[in-house]
Chains A and B, each alone.
Chain A
Amino acid sequence: MIEKPEFPSRLRVRSALVFGAGFAYFAVAHAGHEFPFYPSFYPQEITVETLDAKAAAQRFAKATLHAYAGGELAAQSAPAKTASVASLGGYVVVTFDARAPQFADRSARCAAVRGLKHALAEGQIWHPYPVTPFHADYLHHADRAEAARVAVAAQKAAEPPGRLEIVDATVLAAQAGARYNGWLGPPWLRRGWFHAYLVLAPAVRDAGARARIEELAHRLMNGKHANLRERIERERELVALLQSGCERVVLGYTVRSEPYGTDYSQGVENVGHDALDGLASGIFTRTVKLRDFPWNGWLNVATPAVPSGAWNPVVGGFGGAFGRLVWSALGDPAFLPSPHGEGWIENRLSASKTKMGTPLAVPEDALVPEPGSGRLARAGRGRTATARIVYDVRNSAFHDGTPMSVADLFYAYAFAAAWGAGDALDPGVAQATAFARERLKGVRLLRVHTETLAFGEDKLTYKIPVIEVYLDAGSAGDAMTVAPPWTVLPWHLLALLEEGARRGHFAFSAAGAGRRGVPELDPVRDAVIVGRLAELARELEERAYVPAALAKHAGAGEARQRYRRLREFHAAHGHWLVTNGPYVLSRWDGARAVLTAFRDPSYPKGLGSFDAYAAPLKAHVTRVEQREYGAQVHTEIEWLEREGREVKIVRGPVAKRLAERRTTREQPLGLACRYLLVGPDGAIAAAGSARADATGRCRLEFARPEKRAGRGSGRLVLAAVLEENVANTPIKIVPWEH
């Protein structure tokens, strides 16, 4: 046992300083050292502004701009010390005029498409298939995409039947997205088949095909498939049907190439990006590091267009690269989309236990939000659900200093129920929360436990609510993101905004604003709304207003204190955008947004938390051997090697990497081979994933019933995938004798 020393008075151990929510404190004590955990991410300040490409190039040349999100520089104007990240830009699409007699026939339309390769402009990539290598599910379609490319190789050039159109992939996803207060969805938002559905389904004219398409999409959205093979079959059938009429055809795609400065010491490194969203994504702000700083520093990012749409933190909002970048730093979602993978990264929640399948009884004392009123009622007897998920919630203080409580978490459900249905319905809230509201069957606080990160007597202590959620949901991976116990906004801010909406000052969505003839909520840039909220906040503080749904969870004294803190925040910053994210919107001056790192000890993520996602390292299949049991696959992988100030990607055998890695307690190398075996008839004979062994070899065992696929030549489509980085991973298609 360590005996505590006694100290002269000025060095005596201070009592623990309780920070923020009371969920974290940092005790100043003896015997510490340089403190090895820093909350929030590398840059201490991020400035976002708007620049055209010429001005951006000039700023890069002067090393006063670090990244150009959503923008590109012409090759000849890119300064020497820049690099770029690539992400999916848009689909190159052609739509046939149904009234044109020469294209009335399906076969004529489809034949015409095959000659359009030459019609693509420079920078547009010929890929006559609606799922691209940037999608995490591309492997499921790679053989068909390859076949489509090959099919046109010998075709004569033809004139396009109309103007080629670029469908921006980010805009497409944003329109179909359901962003609500830190809940991101729907779970299938980033999948290739869904993008294909969004782009092509509206043009399908055949009623039979249309009905089957909707049926398949519905099944995929609801996880109604027995296994991976069945899921892939449905995805392929859906995409085939979408293309079958050739009413609208994807010819290819564009690549967004966003530059960033690499100069030492004025540039940046560790630049994470998203395969679909590029730099204007959460992974960028959580990884980017200024080269001149081990941490801290002032990051300057520009976008080519001024902010579009309202800065609405509740639903939708924060459109365009500017808005997405700002919100990615302010709004901390429950889960982040895996930037180069199919799934989700745990951010503020971790789903610790999941039960799926047979009907589960929902506990009587679980809370169920009542549609229309938002009242949190007891579930009572007789409710069942198909999934139970237990979440550990990583609370932190809000930017106004308010401790985060379970009431904040529950109020997110109450708000969705109140504004997503009933008399007060806001169509934007209803749309964004529909999937969650339909599936949520109950939510209950199980306990609050404590976790401590200690280095001697210097401690960060977190109180972690453990909450169980009951749902009707399909697959486990998707279920955890459907209705997570999470909020970005404190309940007192939501209550303030509700009061503003009730009094007709604004609506919670663009759709709601259009319907009611009022502006959409923008608590930052709309001066009238900002002013009216100030009056309301004073009133709510005087009334010590607690929403009815929280009557059992919050008292008048707490309410008064919360509104006071909120008003103080507004007085200091001039806006009402209080969140619990890693950055605070310090100021918005009409042209630029300045975000400051929220280095509050209660914030649970720290420098380096997402470094593993900064470089999407790949694996490569080097050899495939057919065996009696299936196939043996040999692979090589990439890893990072630091050389002084530079980091480079090297490739080699897995065994060499393991020898280089030199830590025994790391997670096992996340290397797996994913495959689908296509039979001679084009059906999927087998599909799955096998982990690689320490030599980098995967043993693919094709299950017996599937081995009985008809005799003849098929194809084995496979990829070696490292750490879930499946987007743009090299895919091998090898002939396979069944």
Chain B
Amino acid sequence: MDKEQLQERRSFLKQFGATLGAAGLGAAAAGTGAYLAVPGAAHAAMKPKGNIPSTPVKVGHITFLTGPAALLGGPGQRGHILAEEEINAEGGLLGKRKIETLFADEAAGTDANVKELRRMKLAEKIELFTGVISSGNTPALGPVAEELKVLTLFNDGCTDFLFDKAVPNPKYTFRVTNIQSADGVTAAIGAATHWPKARRLASLQPDYSYGRNVFEHATLAFGKIVPGTEVVSESWPKLGTTDFTSHITKILSAKPDLLFVGVWGGDYVAFYKQALRYGLFDKMKVATTLAFGGYPHAIGKDHPDGVLAGVHANYHFLYPSAERWPINKAFVERYYKRFKEYPSFESDGAYTALYLYKQAIEKANQLVGGWPSDDAIIAMLEGAGFDSPGGYLYIRPDNHQGYKDAVTGLSKNLPGYDFPVWDPKSIVSIPIRNITAPPNWPKPGKGHNESTAAADWIKKTWPTAKA
């Protein structure tokens, strides 16, 4: 790295507060100071106030149990199970009420998911609804949760649209993982941190809404922070594309410096193996949003080093590092012991959601005694801070969205793992407040027609770097 690059990087890091390497853990919840529980760790038992019933708490959890998206849903379900088992092992919520979870398969589609949520609430009398991976589903389920008055903690389904438009004034609906626009923006900042001289951009995105969201936010953000960029190649492989040859040759012929990739799961694996044959990774830098998004062990050892390997801007089991954040170390150890695999960002999200609920109940109990009402729990969730395995999490009271520092890193095959992980020196951690629209920023359709509030905010407030 030459001197000029170093200076550019320092300047950039200062502007966006990003940290490089194993540092990080900036407080997402600056000013709230509301941290309470440490999940899963042995801590002094809180003595509940008042009478607590001993009936179980029924929880509904819809996630992908079958089909390709089980790559995401499986780890999420396991994160939930681990949290449930740990809480129940201590006697349950407030030491009295054990959790009983009703799982259902999200692969049934949006309409069926909506029916299932209604059934869970009306027939099964669930007190909490969690899970949901698809961004197509949360905007349909959120309004129903509000209508049914069922407390809901989505652990993904991260579209900005949920709280921008579908449920603009949520009461019962919350979400734990970062919003979708952070995916593209994190890839952009990660790429700019590592490759500040990249100017010629290429994009390979799945030809549906997720890909378009990534493309828009990644190129928008990168264009703002790196001067003089141009998009020299766009590729939109259709659903089910298996032969990426034409896309790869198109990208190669455009001679980009940097390629943004949003294809995921088996499509990403097929892409990178084909790209290896063409030497693509030697000819440009590659920044992805989901290369490490599934099971950590699902990526082969032939995956090239030095690819910015996204985790949906949320969590990778090696970060925060064991010495800096024992909560994560303990979580990973317990998860591995229980399931013989490492957790993914979905595991962290589902695990955190259930513990966040526990924390809110305990806090409300201390204030009002007995089993708290939903209103009391909601009051404790709004503005809550939480020490999750992935770091500090803050639930913003105005939109019920969880915010935590976004992370990404460069892939590397390290001894001790049968699959590539992040190079600890390469991890980029970005304070979430610096890449998401602040409270009360106008939603789409309210004074602007950008696709997300984040896009409008970036366009209007981020300074454009000068060449």
Q: Does B382 have its Cβ within 8 Å of any Cβ on chain A?
A: no
Q: A31-B161, A33-B133 are in contact. Are A295 and B109 (CB under 8 A)?
A: no
Q: Mark A616-656, 1 if CB is under 8 A from B, else 0.
A: 00000000000000000000000000111110000000000
Least Cβ distance of A41 to chain B in Å?
Answer: 11
Q: Is the CB of A11 within 8 A of B101?
A: no
Q: Are A2 and B143 in contact (CB under 8 A)?
A: yes
Tell me the chain B residues, 318-346 only, with Cβ under 8 Å from chain A.
339-341
For B136, give the chain A residue with the smallest CB separation.
A456
Do residues A606 and B67 form an inter-chain contact, with CB atoms below 8 A?
yes
Proximity bits, A358-383, B CB within 8 Å = 1, else 0: 00000000000000000000000000
Does A662 sit within 8 A of B, measured CB to CB? yes
A5-B445, A37-B107, A455-B137 given; A297·B159 CB < 8 A: no
**Given A31-B136, A264-B418, A294-B68, A6-B208 contact (CB < 8 Å):** no
A453 within 8 A of B: yes
Would A607 and B240 be within 8 Å (CB), given that A2-B140, A295-B265, A664-B104 are in contact?
Answer: no
Contact assessment for B341 and A29 in the assembled complex, using a CB-CB cutoff below 8 Å: no
The yes or no answer to B182 lying at the interface (CB within 8 A) is no
Q: How far is the CA of A592 from the CA of B200 in the complex (A)?
A: 42
Instruction: Give the residue name and chain of the A residue nearest to B119 (CB).
Output: A665
Q: Is A498 an interface residue (CB 8 A)?
A: no
Does A31 lie within 8 Å of B340, measured CB to CB?
no
Q: Which residue of chain A lies nearest to B419 when distances are taken between CB atoms in the complex? A: A265
Q: Is the CB of B68 within 8 A of A7?
A: no
Chain A min CB distance to B117 (Å)? 12
Among the listed stretches B278-286, B290-298, B351-359, B427-435, which one makes contact with chain A, having 4 or more residues with CB under 8 Å of it?
Answer: B290-298
Which single residue of chain A is at the shortest CB-CB distance from B449? A6
B12 at the A interface (CB under 8 A): no
Contacts of B210 in A (CB 8 A): 32-35
> Any chain B CB within 8 A of the CB of A596?
yes
Chain A residues whose C-beta falls within 8 Å of the C-beta of B143 in the assembled complex = 1-2
Q: Evaluate whether A35 and B451 lie within 8 angstroms (CB atoms) in the complex, with A44-B242, A606-B67 already known.
A: no
Inter-chain contact B161/A645, CB cutoff 8 Å: no
Q: Is the CB of A643 within 8 A of B341?
A: yes
| Chain B positions 209 through 242: 1 when the CB is less than 8 Å from some CB of chain A, otherwise 0 | 1101000100000000000000000000001111
> Are A36 and B269 in contact (CB-based, < 8 A)?
no
Q: Does B387 interact with chain A (Cβ within 8 Å)? A: no
B152 shortest CB reach to chain A, Å? 16
Considering the complex, which residues of chain B in the window 94-114 have a beta carbon less than 8 Å from any beta carbon of chain A? Answer: 101-107, 109-111
> What chain A residues lie within 8 Å of B133 (beta carbons)?
33, 36
In the complex, A1→B147 CA distance in Å? 11
- B66 in the interface (beta carbon within 8 A): yes
Contacts A5-B161, A296-B242 given: A30-B451 contact, CB under 8 Å?
A: yes
Q: Which of chain A's residues 281-323 have a Cβ closer than 8 Å to chain B?
A: 292-297
Q: Kindly list chain B residues whose C-beta atoms are within 8 Å of the C-beta of A600.
A: 240
Inter-chain contact B139/A645, CB cutoff 8 Å:
no
User: Knowing A294-B298, A599-B241, A643-B341 touch, does A607 contact B269 (C-beta < 8 A)?
Assistant: no
Cβ contacts B274-318/A at 8 Å (1 or 0 each)? 000000000000000010001001101100000000000000000
Of B64, B65, B102, B240, the residue contacting A601 (CB under 8 A) is B240
Knowing A5-B451, A665-B116, the reply to whether A294 touches B71 (Cβ < 8 A) is: yes
- Given A8-B451, A264-B418, A643-B340, A34 and B69 touching (CB < 8 A)? yes
Residues of B within 8 A of A29 (CB): 208-209
Q: Is the beta-carbon distance between A33 and B68 smaller than 8 angstroms?
A: no
Which residues of chain A come closer than 8 Å to B165, judged between CB atoms? 2-3, 5
Let me know if B72 is at the binding interface, CB within 8 A: yes
Q: Which residues of A contact B82 (CB under 8 A)?
A: none
Measured CB to CB, the closest approach of chain B to A563, in angstroms, equals 26
Asked whether B209 lies within 8 Å of A38 as measured between CB atoms, the reply is: no
- Asked if B464 is at the interface (CB within 8 A of a chain A CB), the reply is no
- 0 or 1 for each of B428-467: is its CB under 8 Å from A? (1 = yes): 0000000000000000110001110000000000000000
Is the pair B158, A44 in contact by a Cβ cutoff of 8 Å? Answer: no
Does A39 reach chain B (CB closer than 8 Å)?
yes
Q: Are B444 and A6 in contact (CB under 8 A)?
A: yes
The listed residue (B81, B101, B136) touching A455 by CB distance below 8 A is B136
* Contacting pair B269 A454 (CB below 8 A): no
Interface string of B38-82 (1 = CB under 8 A from A): 000000000000000000000000001111111110000100010
| B24 contacts partner chain A, Cβ-Cβ < 8 Å | no
Min CB–CB distance B316 → chain A (angstroms): 17
CB distance from B138 to the nearest CB of A (A): 8
**B366 close to A (CB within 8 Å):** no
A36 to B300, CA, bound (A): 22
Q: How far is the CA of A576 from the CA of B72 in the complex (A)?
A: 40
> Is the C-beta of B423 less than 8 angstroms from some C-beta in chain A?
no
A34 touches B264 (CB 8 A): yes
**Beta-carbon contact of A662 and B81 below 8 Å:** yes
Residues on B with C-beta less than 8 A from A663 are: 65, 102-105
B265 x A454 contact (CB < 8 A): no
Contact status A597-B242, CB under 8 Å? yes
A662 touching B103, Cβ below 8 Å = yes
Contact assessment for A33 and B135 in the assembled complex, using a CB-CB cutoff below 8 Å? yes
Q: Is the pair A5, B67 in contact by a Cβ cutoff of 8 Å?
A: no
Minimum distance in angstroms from A174 CB to a CB of chain B? 32
- Taken together as a complex, chains A and B put the C-alpha atoms of A329 and B387 apart, in Å, by 51
Rounded to whole angstroms, the CA-CA distance of A457 and B206 in the bound complex is: 15
B154 to chain A, nearest CB (A): 12
Chain B residues in 8 Å Cβ range of A28: 207-209, 212
B278 to chain A, nearest CB (A): 16
Task: Tell me which residues across on chain B come within 8 A of A45, comparing CB atoms.
Answer: 242
A332 within 8 A of B: no
Please tell me if A181 contacts chain B, counting CB pairs below 8 Å: no
A326-349: CB near B (< 8 Å → 1, else 0) gives 000000000000000000000000
- Shortest A559–chain B CB gap in Å is 28
B362 within 8 Å of A (CB atoms) = no
Interface presence of B134 (CB below 8 A): yes
In the complex, what distance in Å separates the CA atom of A295 from the CA atom of B207? 18
The smallest beta-carbon distance between B272 and chain A, in angstroms, is 11
* CB nearest neighbor in B for A660: B81
B73 to chain A, nearest CB (A): 9
- Closest chain-A Cβ to B69's Cβ sits at a distance in Å of 3
Chain B residues, CB < 8 A from A485: none
Q: Which residues on B sit within 8 Å (CB–CB) of A3?
A: 165, 445
A611 lies within 8 A of chain B by Cβ: yes
Report if A435 contacts B (CB, 8 A).
no
In the complex, A278 has a CB within 8 A of chain B: no
| Residue with the greatest number of chain A CB neighbours at <10 A, chosen from B65, B70, B242 | B242
Interface positions of A from 9 to 43, Cβ below 8 Å from B: 11, 26, 28-40, 42
- Pick from B240, B339, B449 the residue with the most CB of A within 10 Å: B240
> Which residues of the other chain, A, contact B270 by a CB distance below 8 angstroms?
44, 293, 296-297
Once bound together, how far apart are the Cα atoms of A453 and B341, in whole Å?
A: 32
**Chain B contacts for A186, CB-based, 8 A:** none
Q: Which of B152-203 contact A (CB under 8 A)?
A: 157-159, 161, 164-166, 180
What's the minimum C-beta distance from B234 to chain A, rounded to whole angstroms?
10
Question: Quick check: A458 and B209 within 8 Å, CB to CB?
Answer: yes
A604, CB-defined interface residue at 8 Å: no
**From residue A519, how far is it (CB to closest CB) to chain B in Å?**
34
Name 9 extra pairs, CB < 8 A, besides A32-B210, A33-B135, A295-B266: A2-B143, A7-B451, A36-B133, A44-B242, A264-B418, A294-B265, A294-B298, A664-B102, A665-B103
Q: Which residues of B contact A (CB under 8 A)?
A: 64-72, 77, 81, 101-107, 109-111, 116, 124, 133-137, 139-140, 143, 157-159, 161, 164-166, 180, 206-210, 212, 216, 239-243, 264-267, 269-270, 290, 294, 297-298, 300-301, 339-341, 418, 444-445, 449-451
Considering the complex of A and B, which 6 residue pairs feature the smallest CB-CB distances, nearest first?
A: A456-B136, A599-B240, A32-B209, A295-B266, A455-B136, A36-B69
19 contacts across the A-B interface (CB closer than 8 A): A3-B165, A7-B449, A31-B135, A31-B136, A34-B264, A36-B68, A38-B67, A38-B266, A264-B418, A292-B269, A294-B68, A295-B267, A455-B136, A456-B209, A458-B209, A608-B70, A645-B297, A645-B341, A663-B103
